[in-house]
Chains A and B, each alone.
Chain A
Amino acid sequence: MAGVGKTISEKIFSAASGRDVWAGDLVVAEVSSAMAHDGTALLAIEAFEEMGGTKVWNPSRVALFLDHVAPSSNETFSKVHKRMRRFAFKHGISLYEVGSGVCHQLMIEEGYVRPGELVVGADSHTCTYGALGAFATGIGSTEMAAVFLSGKLWFKVPETLKVEIEGSLPPFVTPKDVALRVIGEVGADGATYQAVEFHGSTIEEMSVEGRLTLCNMAVEMGAKTGIINPDEKTYSYLAQLGLNPGRGFSSDPDAQYAKTLEFDVSSLEPQVACPHAVDNVKPVSEVEGTPVDQVFLGSCTNGRIEDLRLAAKILEGKVVKRGLRMIVTPASRRVYLQALREGLIETFVKAGCAVCNPGCGPCVGAHQGVLAPGEVCLSTSNRNFKGRMGCTDAEIYLASPATAAATAITGRITDPRSVVRA
């Protein structure tokens, strides 16, 4: 393969495995950081102990998060949290307490992810960090125990699907809409085992937060990760968080791709993923008017400051429709504080929203907004599977923070451009 360029993913795996590797190779690679949360850590801790583990390979590169059921809503989870706190204390690992935020947001804010690194998390949305030019992917709990022990894991170097996105997004059309548009086209398994590399003028223009939303959703097309070549925006985003961004890799111009897809989003309409599949995507105009019982703004997909700003801009001076409840969950304490300083939280509270502590909120159906049979939720999160929000007889639509805010005002799925003057 001499003389042929490499993708960013092949470069990261070559660096992490200490070998010159290409798509299709099975490698054992060293990870830079690893994380687990209250939905996955217990099994990892038990597996670690069953494997005879006494020492974590590098406690400063492992983080545990209490975010999925936090504060705990039942005794079972209170015991899980207790066990995680004990394990973290024993091994000198950082544990992010109830109220700190969603693991994926904190992994970035707390400096566990830098361009060019290989990061694993016991959560499928670990792929979010690819937005920073890291190779980040979700793994299971047992193999997380193996990472705790050795700092290494087996990987198949993935082929790459190149997605080129061109055009400037119209007002109130967001990176979430781009993500849904792409997933609707590629399908829920269209990128299975592959890395999805995003390119094009839309990505260059997009903020790092928008890129995080886009890469977060990559797993919804089966991808191993979503990934974007780091640029000046990436480095300055990390520097602004007070982190040393290091220096990452970029794909070579002659890198080999499994396939290339092109999208023009310059006249994209807001998109909605309809029940019960993330790839069941329609333009908002096709589902407008659908009555909604609950709106959720937050999650690792859309709980960042730009998301809250956009929703608050639409909700400013308005109230949520009578009979509908809107739940707002900032992605982290840092986001929460910033939103407080900017008056966004006041806007949400005055509009009648329930503002919850930073964390996963109702996304996974364990607390803070479980649905009832027959109810409909419009959520800014990333999954609308049957039963996802705690009730198998409820329906979930996925959309952007703008569409969520507009829907909360009218009580029906609404194109945000119809309630604001752009």
Chain B
Amino acid sequence: MKYISEFRRSELAGGLISHIRHRSKTRARFMEFCGGHTVTIFRYGIRQVLPETIEMVSGPGCPICVTANADLDKAIALAKVPGVIIATFGDMIKVPGSRSSLQKAKAEGAEVRTVYSTMDALKAAEDNPDKPVVFLGIGFETTAPTVAASILQAEEKGIKNYYVLSLHKLCPPVIRTLLDAGEVKLGGLVCPGHVSTIIGSHPWEFIASEYGIPCVVSGFEPLDILQCVDMLVGQVEKGESKVEIAYRRGVRPEGNRQALKLMEQVFEPAPARWRGIGEVAGSGLKLKSKYRRFDAEARFNIEPGPTIEPAGCICGDILRGVKTPSDCPLFAKTCTPESPVGPCMVSTEGSCSAYYSYGEGLGG
């Protein structure tokens, strides 16, 4: 497919690998923030072709993985409200909350529908005017504008039974929190590609200027990742720290102004809870008062009960990049993709799922 297959060409990958190996002299640890990048790195065996000087660690960039149990419990409690239809992206269904999951709630009679797009959720609301349809707003800056657009469409079409549970998360504030915690020392950051498509490359400047960490925005094909690593190595060897874009076909420095405009029209920053990290100021989005009638939390009085974390699960440490899945006593034993204990094993972009699927840390 155009603009995909060209960026998988092995002879160009070979050139980049030689270039990286040739010029990388200094030991450096690079974090790929985004779960999509983690998947590309594992699928194409990129860790194995990098020189010993470069260590790759996975970050918290999987919206499903970082959704706190308390928020997951809210979604499950909403699903149990009689008459409510829950519309959600697929991976959320299997994530275990404190006492149940959306999948279990569905088996017990709740109406939980998997949708590909907010457009499908809106359609469900139009087709079922007597039932409230709640879309689970889970995602980063890439997804939030599409949810904002759905609310504006609902307003335009006069759809009165469409609601959003806004659990969106913003990436730059949580990266600052991780860097301030100082648990993981980073020599470079592979900045998320499609988050940057929306917000541009400027919001990463503070990482380069205040923390002295090289930043390169990457795409999702293997050549994109290799080019990004090559550019990070270039900065490391020159002792520079700046923000560069390796994914120029998909990211402009200023981002997508229209998407930002719609997002800012509907949402405003709010505190958000991240699994393993805790509450981070300004890292979430809530509906502005003008759009409060679309807010599921305002419409329904949800009492999900006390939060219980899964015993023995170290997803939180893995999301902060301080442990790897193979450090977890549950990994590939009691926790597998068929029977996941924590969200990092459920989501296809979770570190545990990537390690499991590509045989990393399984021994033997």
Partners in one complex: no
